Structure 1
């Protein structure tokens, strides 16, 4: 039975949203390839709408945990930078409860998009809960 999609990342408000939706697990052929989660970035604004497929590995989820910790401490983050996957940057606005979310896709569409969304303190509890839910729903075993 297929699991329902889970939004690992959900940044939205003021008519803009950036979501990373996990849609399932892709079984790969061991021992050379690790299992991966399949997902898509969904960007929706009054000006730009689009989706971009991506795959996530256990290391990506661990690095997202670290990125959340840095964001929660008030630092900007770069997640998956330098990988053959879409990169995510979140820059905090010190004067406002907003952030600039940038997705860069250097490997497929060669497109970069930046969206401004609110980022309230309550968002962090929800973000950690979403990450835990992804781990619980799709356990990924590594050697």
Structure 2
């Protein structure tokens, strides 16, 4: 099951990925959030829990209704926001790592149709294999 690509937001020039690397104890999963663009490349570790996975499901539902979302905002570690209409007339993903590196990266990504349904299916596959 591992590694498992939970999130892959890409337009083949810019990409934000969250890859689940391993289970810590069956209740937590070690993951890595990575950003790759023509300008910047970086990654940081994060820990996912069942509540964070549930919150990602709720965020995907809000996105399907046309709402911008921020995921993992109240936890330690990185926060990921998806804005459906960013500053460059396309969706953008903002990753903030305020608790450790204090770095924020904003990535415009021209997402393909069906990306929300794809991510709902990814989440469902991951949860079904827990």
Normalising by structure 2, what TM-score? 0.92
What number of residue pairs does the alignment pair up? Answer: 129
Cα distance in 2, alignment partners of residues 106 and 4 from structure 1:
27
Which structure has the bigger radius of gyration?
Answer: 1
1:30-50 deviation line (CA, Å, top 9, x unaligned)? xxxxx2111000100011001
Equivalence map 1:111-122=2 (5 Å): 111-122=103-114
Cα distance in 1, alignment partners of residues 112 and 58 from structure 2:
19
- Within the candidate set 3, 10, 17, 1:5 is matched to 3
Partner-residue secondary structure (3-state), 2:120: helix
Unaligned runs of 5+ in 1: 29-34
Query: Does residue 19 of structure 2 align to residue 17 of structure 1?
Result: no
Contact conserved, 1:14 with 1:118, CA < 8 A, in 2? no
1:48-103 deviation line (CA, Å, top 9, x unaligned)? 00111000000000000000000011110011112112101111118x98311001
Are the structure 2 counterparts of residues 126 and 97 from structure 1 closer, same or farther at C-alpha, using a change threshold of 3 Å? Answer: farther
Cα distance in 1, alignment partners of residues 38 and 112 from structure 2:
22
Partner-residue secondary structure (3-state), 2:91: strand
Equivalence map 1:104-143=2 (5 Å): 104-137=96-129, 139=130
Aligned to 2:62: 70
After TM superposition, give the deviation of residue 106 of structure 1 in Å: 1.2
Runs of 4+ in 1 over 3 A off after TM superposition: none
Unaligned runs of 5+ in 2: none
Contact conserved, 2:11 with 2:112, CA < 8 A, in 1? no
Normalising by structure 1, what TM-score? 0.84
1:103-140 deviation line (CA, Å, top 9, x unaligned)? 11111111110101112331122101110121123x2x
